[in-house]
Amino acid sequence: MTDLIACLSTGKGTWIHVKGIISGCDWDNIFLITNEFGREKFSSEKKVELIVVDSNKPLLELVEDIKKELKDKITGTEAALNLVSGTGKEHMAILSAVLKLGLGVRLVALTKDGIKEI
C-alpha cells in the first residue's frame, strides 16, 4: 500500500476518525504526530509509531522536529496524509515537514464509503 501520516491531537471525535483511517487500509507504516496526552491515552490494534511533539514550540521548530523524526522512515516517494485531528499550526508543521522531505502527499479521509483520497 503506502505509508500513512496522520495528526492525532485535538478536536472532538477526531480520534475515532484516525482509528478508522488506521484500520481501514493495510498501510505499510503508520506514523501519528501527537502530543504527550496522545502518547499516554491512544491505543491501536495495528502497529503505529507515535511521533510526540510539543505543539507549544514555535512553528519553525515544530517543523524541524517532525522532519527529523520522519526522515528516512517513509518507504516510498509519497505518503497518505490525514489532518482531520489537530490545529492549523500542527497541520502547517506536518505539511511543511513532509514537503521538505521531498515527499508527495495524497490526502485521505474516512467517509461513509470507506477511506477515500480527497
Q: Which domain holds residue 107?
A: 8-117
Residue 1 maps to a domain = no
Is residue 3 assigned to a domain?
no
Asked if the structure places residue 95 within a domain, the reply is yes
Is residue 99 in a domain? yes
2 belongs to a structural domain: no
Domain-embedded: residue 25? yes
Residue 45, in any domain of the structure: yes
β-bridge partners, 117: 108
- The b-or-e profile of 41-64 (16+ CB within 10 A means b, else e) is eeeeeeebebbebebeeeeeebbb
Per-residue pLDDT of the chain (118 residues; tens, 9 = 90+): 799 999 999 888 899 999 999 999 999 999 999 999 999 999 999 999 999 999 999 999 999 999 999 999 998 999 999 999 999 999 999 999 999 999 999 999 999 999 999 9
Domain assignment of residue 47, yes or no: yes
Report in angstroms the alpha-carbon separations of 34 from 61, 86, 117. 15, 9, 22
Cβ 38 vs Cβ 8: under 8 Å: yes
Number of structural domains (the chain) is: 1
CA distance 70 to 5: 9
